[in-house]
Amino acid sequence: MNQEKEWNLDSWKKYPALQQPLYQDLHFYQETLQKLRKLPGILNFEEINKFKNEMIKVSQGDKFVLQLGDCAEVYNECTEEHWKEKFSFYDSMGQILNAIVIGRTCGQFAKPRTQLHEKDGTLNYRGDLINSLSRDERDPDPLRLLLGAHYSKKGIDTLRKYEGKQLWVSHECLHIGYESAFARQHEEDHYYLSNTHFPWIGDRTRLCEHAHSNFAKGIYNPIGIKIGSSINKNEFVNLIKLLNPKNEDGRVFAIIRLGKNKLDKLKDIINWKHEEKLNVSFFLDPMHGNSLEQNGYKIRRIEDIMFEIQQFFNILEQSNEKPAGLHLECTPYDVSECVENDEEIDPKKYTTACDARLNFRQTRKIVIFVNTLLKKLKKKQQ
Ligand code: PEP
Ligand code: MN
């Protein structure tokens, strides 16, 4: 059975799609998607291909990726001024490691939620693509999809004018109707996603017999998959085979987010990779497995993040695997959302729309720490 032949722009619709908003006016929703499909693609195939060539170097162990940005990007910050500040922050962190830098930006507008409702019954915020942070505008609104498309294009246009080092952009491929409307065809048989270089599939939507992975398998872009602690061997192996049937370099990147107490499972995951001879490289997301609550605020501890990073490096080294990337939720602004030692957050500086982000100083500290780990590794391997 030829999986690629089987794929078309609509074939994902045969599978269940988790974490999708329900629109009251379905006709208006479908009309909106139709408008998006008719827009010119945002990124062109050459730009995606250039990115893919960089990611091939990552698969081959020659380059390290730093993937940085907000948990949820908000439309209010979709201005040239904010983007420039973020780009130069991502760029400066990347320079410390001489890394390939990918922002969680220019489209990181949709959030998966464990609970559909808040404690008082209000619908939960699902990202600016779907509804509003303000509690009286929580019904999903299709018009927000047009804004998402507008801001993605504006952000990517701003990126093209950015004068620093080459940066790439990524976001979670979550709202599957919206995302699939950005697929564009290049020549006969290459479809690619034109609204980002690097889509990733979240831990909650990565199942094999589901819509997200069956959409992504037909897209030419390199793909990230978040891997949390519920993964089992069958799921992992089938998913990697589905997304990378020819076992190519630069195709699929597992973004491990097990948390500091569950990272031992990475040893199993690496064994599955080796047993099945899968071509997949490992990033670490040391944020999402280490979320805590303090006085009603979602926080993360710097010590937990650093501990998980250290263990990640240890486990990969013991298994002869090279760390391929680090994924952090962070912002250039002076926020107080992640804490160190017995620090408490400052509610006035807690401004995230979703998860707790590292501020400039905390990000820099962690990137410098990773730099020492990468240097040690390099020395041993010489
Ligand atoms: C995220 O990256 O913000 C996120 C929701 O991640 P995960 O799918 O790993 O929970
Ligand atoms: Mn998050």
Cα of 358 from ligand 1 centre, angstroms: 15
The set of residues, in sequence order, having a beta carbon less than 8 Å from that of 328 and lying 6+ positions away, is 66, 67, 68, 285, 286, 287, 358, 363, 366
User: Binding site for Mn(2+): what residues are annotated?
Assistant: 71, 288, 329, 355
Q: What's the CA gap between 155 and 173, in Å, rounded? A: 17
Query: 356 C-alpha vs ligand 2 centroid, how far in Å?
Result: 8
Atom number, ligand 1, closest to the C-alpha of residue 354: 3
- Contact predicate 82/178, CB 8 Å: no
**What residue type is assigned to position 304 of the chain?**
D
Only one residue has tokens 């564009």, namely: 184
User: Do the beta carbons of residue 206 and residue 226 sit within 8 Å?
Assistant: yes
- What lies within 8 Å, CB to CB, of 287 at 6+ separation is 257, 300, 305, 327, 328, 329, 355, 356
Look up tokens 């976001």; give the residue. Answer: 171
- 288 CA distance to ligand 2 middle (Å): 6
CA distance 281 to 60: 9
Q: Which of 201, 257, 337 to mutate to test the pocket of ligand 1 (most atoms within 8 A of CB)?
A: 257
In tens digits, the chain (382 residues) has pLDDT values of 444 458 999 999 999 999 999 999 999 999 999 999 999 999 999 999 999 999 999 999 999 999 999 999 999 999 999 999 999 999 999 999 999 999 999 999 999 999 999 999 999 999 999 999 999 999 999 999 999 999 999 999 999 999 999 999 999 999 999 999 999 999 887 999 999 999 999 999 999 999 999 999 999 999 999 999 999 999 999 999 999 999 999 999 999 999 999 999 999 999 999 999 999 999 999 999 999 999 999 999 999 999 999 999 999 999 999 999 999 999 999 999 999 998 999 999 999 999 999 999 999 999 999 999 999 999 998 7
Task: Kindly report the CATH number that applies to the domain delimited by 11-381.
Answer: 3.20.20.70
Pocket test for ligand 1, best of 73, 256, 285 (most atoms within 8 A of CB): 285
**pTM for this prediction:** 0.97
Kindly give the number of the ligand 1 atom that is closest to the alpha carbon of 255: 9
Query: Which ligand 1 atom is the nearest neighbour of the CA of 204?
Result: 8
Diameter over CA atoms, the chain:
61
Ligand 1 atom 4, closest CA: 202
The CA distance from 216 to 225, in Å, is 10
Ligand 1 pocket: which of 172, 287, 329 to mutate (most atoms within 8 A of CB): 172
Task: Say how many Å lie between the CA of residue 285 and the centre of ligand 2.
Answer: 10
Domain ranges of the chain: 11-381
The set of protein residues with a Cβ atom below 6 angstroms from ligand 1 is 71, 112, 202-204, 226, 257, 288, 355
